[in-house]
Structure 1
C-alpha cells in the first residue's frame, strides 16, 4: 500500500532520521504535534539514551512528538498506536467495515483516547493508511 506524504511530512521524516538515526516510515502532521511511525526494531534508537534523540527532535521541530512503532500484524500495529496505554488484546472484525476492537486497561482508557481524542484519532489514521482499518473501538 502506497502512502502519500506532503512535502512538510517528507521534510519532517528526513529531519527525524538525521536527528535520531532511526528509520521513519510515515508521519502525521498536526498543528501542535507530529506522529512518526518508526520502523519495527528502531524505537530504542529513535528515543535515544535517556530520551535524548526524541527530545532533540522535538526542540528542532518546536512541536510535541509521538512515536509509534511499526508492526507487520494489524493487531500489534493497533496496540503500538495506542501506546502508552496498556492494550490487552486486539480483535479485528471484517463484517462490512474493518474494525479493530482494542481491549484497554480501564485506567488507561483516557490515555488511549488522549486530549480531545487526538491519540485514538492518530491511531485510526495510521491504521487506515497501513492496514485499511476503518475504525478502532476501545472495549
Structure 2
C-alpha cells in the first residue's frame, strides 16, 4: 500500500474485530463519520466479511453499530478504481499527475453516471476517501 492517512485507534479496533471474527485480511477500515465504515480487504476476502447470504456482515453491523461497505484492495490504482465502482461500466480510467497531486478521471457511459455518483454522492465520495487515504489521490472526476 502506498502513502496515505494515519490509522486511528478506532480504525485499529474495527480492523481487529473484523479480522478476528471473519478471518479476512483487513488493510483499512475508514470511518466516513456518518455511521459508515469502508472496510478495505485483501482480494478474494470480501466474501469472508459478507458471509453466506450476508449473515456475517449483518452481525458485524449489529456489533459495531455501523453500516459497513466492503471493498477489495488492489495495489494497481486503475484496478482499485474498478473495485470501488462494482456496478458501473467503466470505459477507461486516466491517472494524471500534476505537480504534487494525482487526479483520477473515470470515463463511464452516460447511462451509468448516476450509478457512479450514487444517491447523495455516496459512491463517488467513498471512492474519493479510499483513493485519498490509500493512494494519495487529490481529485476524482467522473465524466
The TM-score normalised by the length of structure 1 is 0.86
| C-alpha distance after superposition, 1:63-107 (max 9, x if no partner) | 211111100210011111223333332121123432111123433
Matched with 1:38 is 41
Matched, 1:136 2:120: no
In the alignment, which residue of structure 2 is the partner of 1:15?
A: 17
Extract unaligned runs of 5+ from structure 2. Answer: none
The answer to whether the Cα contact below 8 Å between 2:4 and 2:136 also exists between their aligned partners in 1 is: no
Answering whether residue 86 of structure 2 is matched by residue 120 of structure 1, we say no
Distance in 2 of aligned mates of 1:51 and 1:63: 15
Give the unaligned 5+ runs of structure 1.
Answer: none
Verify: 1:65 aligned to 2:51, yes or no.
no
How far, CA to CA, are the matches of 1:53 and 1:108 in structure 2? Answer: 30
**Distance in 2, Cα, partners of 1:31 & 1:15:** 20
State the alpha-carbon separation in 2 of the partners of residues 84 and 109 from structure 1: 11
Higher RCO (CA-CA < 8 Å; seq separation 6+): 2
Q: 1:109 aligns with which of 106, 110, 113?
A: 113
- With 24-33 and 86-95 compared, the bigger mean Cα shift is at 86-95
Residues 1-12 of structure 1 aligned to structure 2 (within 5 Å):
1=3, 3-12=5-14
Equivalent pairs, count: 139
The TM-score, its normalising length taken from structure 2, stands at 0.84
Q: CA deviation at 1:35?
A: 0.7
